[in-house]
């Protein structure tokens, strides 16, 4: 760097391989002595930096701050900054972890195969390519829970001309991992599903994998599941959509805004948007929230969800929602395509909140609207038994995609040892006919219109063992 200071020519030469090297060396060249400040930034991730001036140790600096050297400088003065780079983890979606060493984010080293998808019609070399992986990528890392850095081995090499060249790495981390066979390419066929919730389990053999700087890969896995005993949220879940809501939820499409305890889609959310609490896994439970929808489209709750991806029906699971335009309560399921279970005629005003509640017990579903005590839908379906909870919006006109969700809560039913019925089901049953209203709406579902046991839903808080 060259600069004029009070009419004097000053040159500061930097010698470093940073961010692949921990040390930065600065050499000052001046024709005559010159007084000026030199400010050095200490990164937030570095808690034990050292600075020397002409070999003398400096003090009075801390992470995430600038250290100011205000003095008269002479030709040949040198400043050496050492920034020890710890290996650190950062928790992200589905409790996955990112691996950082100093300022560098690491990704899994993946083999690549490039194929021309669309040749450049002008023949100038601007072809469109598809990039396919040639090596496995669906791994969960084995990490020491109390000291993740101890599970990783760092190696540095001579810094090449291009330190991000995949064929000539500058640094790498070696880790142990197991493959996760259920983590696959998503419904669209162009990207992977979201990382499975951590900790994850796998019976596959431990393998050695290599992590390289993020910039050295075209195909990147940088949020890693880690191995352990799965521990999803199963008992209860309440969401007030405070400023930290995005740490608990993952969105799939759409534009979302959370304010005053309410999550909303905003214009631009056409053709399906979902938000999911990825760390949840409910089976038998009550799920409820206040939901509003605009003049066009539908909005509601999704549950027992797995394999979510971008797209209106790109998930496996159930949906119940309100539609003001068609005056219907909609209940169905998706498996990358929509399947109607039953649609019930009901009047809903646009942009008004309605309280939706689902009671799911095995293959039976009771759906309530507002504060009525009798379900408006009472059906059986056998597609999905457990999964995540979330919210969903669909509108074909992005300019009118308005929906809102608040007061969201899920509470699991707890097994009662002394309540097992003759059928072996660990919940309380009573024998009575399904009501006429239930028969009317189950005619569109997957069950037969016959006598069947009804479920008595006892308030779940009675059974909680804390």
pLDDT, tens digit, 9 for 90 and up, residues 192-217: 999 999 999 999 999 999 999 999 99
Q: How many domains does the chain have?
A: 3
pLDDT value of residue 166? 85
Query: Could you tell me the pLDDT band of residue 32, with boundaries at 50, 70 and 90?
Result: confident
Same domain, 106 and 200: yes
Same domain, 187 and 324: no
CA angle 198, 200, 201 (to 5 degrees): 170
The token duo for 169 is: 């790495």
Same domain, 372 and 390: yes
Query: Could you tell me the pLDDT band of residue 155, with boundaries at 50, 70 and 90?
Result: very high
Residue 387 reports pLDDT greater than 70: yes
Same domain, 361 and 266: yes
The token duo for 334 is: 């998706």
Q: In angstroms, rounded to a whole number, what is the distance separating the alpha carbons of residues 319 and 303? A: 7
Identify whether 419 is part of a domain. Answer: no
Same domain, 100 and 26: no
Residue 461 reports pLDDT greater than 50: no
> For the residues 342-352, what does the mean pLDDT come to?
96
pLDDT, tens digit, 9 for 90 and up, residues 358-372: 999 999 999 999 977
pLDDT, tens digit, 9 for 90 and up, residues 111-148: 999 999 999 999 898 999 999 999 999 999 999 989 99
Same domain, 259 and 403: yes
Identify whether 417 is part of a domain. Answer: no
Three-state DSSP at 302 gives strand
By residue range, what is the domain housing residue 57? Answer: 2-82
Query: Could you tell me the pLDDT band of residue 150, with boundaries at 50, 70 and 90?
Result: very high
Identify whether 457 is part of a domain. Answer: no
- Least Cα distance to 133 among 199, 80, 183 occurs for 183
Same domain, 73 and 93: no
Query: Could you tell me the pLDDT band of residue 167, with boundaries at 50, 70 and 90?
Result: confident
Residue 73 reports pLDDT greater than 90: yes
CATH at residue 292:
2.60.120.560
Same domain, 25 and 58: yes
Same domain, 260 and 392: yes
Identify whether 397 is part of a domain. Answer: yes
Number of residues written out for the chain: 466
Same domain, 284 and 389: yes
pTM: 0.81
Same domain, 267 and 399: yes
The token duo for 443 is: 């005619």
pLDDT value of residue 454? 39
Share of the chain above pLDDT 90, in %: 75
Q: What is the DSSP letter of 224?
A: B
Point out the domain boundary residue: 32, 52, 82: 82
pLDDT, tens digit, 9 for 90 and up, residues 428-450: 433 333 333 333 333 333 333 33
119 forms beta bridges with none
Q: State the chain's mean pLDDT as an integer.
A: 87
Contact of 294 with 403, CB cutoff 8 Å: yes
Residue 271 reports pLDDT greater than 60: yes
């Amino acid at each position: 760097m060259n600069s004029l200071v009070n009419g004097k020519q000053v040159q500061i030469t930097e010698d470093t391989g940073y961010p692949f090297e921990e040390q930065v060396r600065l050499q000052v060249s001046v024709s005559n002595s010159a007084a000026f400040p030199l400010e050095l930034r200490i990164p937030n991730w570095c808690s034990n930096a050292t600075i020397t001036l002409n070999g003398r140790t400096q003090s009075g600096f801390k992470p995430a701050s600038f250290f100011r050297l205000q003095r008269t400088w002479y030709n040949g003065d040198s400043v050496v900054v050492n920034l020890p780079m710890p290996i650190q983890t950062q928790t992200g979606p589905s409790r996955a972890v990112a691996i950082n060493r100093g300022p560098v984010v690491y990704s899994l080293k993946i083999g690549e195969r490039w194929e021309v998808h669309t040749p450049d019609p002008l023949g100038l070399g601007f072809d469109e390519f598809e990039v396919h992986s040639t090596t496995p990528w669906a791994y969960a890392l084995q990490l020491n829970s109390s000291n993740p850095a101890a599970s990783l081995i760092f190696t540095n090499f001579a810094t090449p001309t291009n330190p991000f060249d995949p064929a000539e790495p500058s640094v790498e981390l070696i880790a142990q991992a197991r493959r996760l066979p259920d983590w696959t390419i998503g419904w669209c066929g162009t990207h992977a599903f979201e990382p499975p919730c951590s900790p994850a389990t796998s019976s596959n053999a431990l393998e050695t994998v290599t992590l390289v700087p993020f910039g050295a890969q075209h195909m990147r896995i940088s949020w890693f599941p880690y191995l352990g005993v799965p521990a999803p949220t199963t008992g209860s879940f309440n969401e007030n959509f405070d400023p930290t809501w995005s740490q608990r939820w993952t969105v799939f499409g759409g534009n979302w805004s959370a304010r005053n305890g309410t999550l909303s889609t905003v214009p631009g959310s056409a053709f399906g948007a979902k938000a999911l609490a990825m760390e949840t896994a409910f089976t038998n439970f009550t799920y409820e929230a206040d939901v509003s929808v605009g003049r066009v489209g539908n909005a509601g709750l999704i549950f027992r969800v797995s394999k979510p991806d971008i797209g209106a029906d790109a998930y496996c699971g159930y949906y119940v929602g309100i539609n003001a335009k068609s005056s219907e309560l909609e209940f169905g399921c998706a498996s990358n395509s929509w399947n109607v279970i039953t649609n019930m005629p009901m009047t809903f005003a646009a942009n008004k909140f309605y309280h939706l509640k689902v009671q799911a017990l095995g293959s039976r579903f009771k759906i309530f609207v507002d504060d009525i005590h009798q379900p408006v839908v009472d059906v059986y379906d056998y597609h999905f038994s457990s999964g995540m909870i979330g919210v969903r919006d669909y509108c074909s006109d992005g300019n009118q995609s308005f929906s809102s969700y608040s007061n969201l809560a899920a509470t699991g039913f707890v097994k009662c040892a002394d309540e097992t019925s003759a059928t072996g089901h660990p919940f309380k049953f009573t024998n009575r006919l399904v009501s006429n209203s239930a028969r009317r709406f189950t005619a569109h579902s997957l069950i037969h219109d016959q006598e069947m046991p009804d479920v008595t839903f006892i308030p779940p808080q009675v059974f909680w063992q804390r």
